[in-house]
Amino acid sequence: MDRYDVIVAGEGVAGLAASLACAREGLSVLSLEPAFYGGLVSSVNELVDPGADLEGSGIDVATQLAGEAVDAGVARLPEAAVALLAEGDAWRVVTDQGEHEARCVVVATGAARRPLALPGLERFEGKGLSWCADCDAPLLAGADVVVVGGGDSALQEATVLMHHARTVHLVHRGRDWRARAALREAFA
């Protein structure tokens, strides 16, 4: 069984950034990702992230981070972490293809889209209900659209839709946006 200082489960932006930061500190790092690196950000054609060092599409950003991680010495395996076991001063990560050991484990297994809890929602999928503004915005040219949410993803999606839709309405709970300040300012 191979041993590392750090094992990172997941290669979305958070996992790639964690792997890169650890490797830059001189730690031996193994990154595990059973699918394609990048996570949900890979479906974004143009990131709206004012002040960020990384710019471009989501896949561009993920590719840049993955390349920098490899250049910094991160070992990458296409395996899915299925169990995490404490063993003395170490952790054993069981994957779908083997086992690996580390002093520290970072679980960055990603985000998932959260559908609204509305009865009958599924009957509107493909009929105006969309989960991807970059995918469907051109189909909404001149339409009035609604984005539900007040976090980073919602404002990112609304920004994309503003280039196509006639109007974009944002609906969110609470009094304040949850999105980062830089994104809120870019949207205002």
pTM above 0.85, yes or no: no
- State yes or no: pLDDT of 50 exceeds 60: no
Average pLDDT, the chain: 88
Written as six digits, the tokens of 114 are 């959260």
Average pLDDT over residues 172-181: 85
Cβ atoms of residues 73 and 187 within 8 Å:
no
pLDDT at position 188 is: 67
Portion of the chain with pLDDT greater than 90, in percent = 48
User: Could you give the C-alpha distances from 169 to 60, 120, 154, 163, 187, in angstroms and in order?
Assistant: 29, 22, 11, 13, 12
What does the pLDDT look like over 71-107, one tens digit per residue? 999 999 999 999 999 999 999 999 999 999 999 999 9
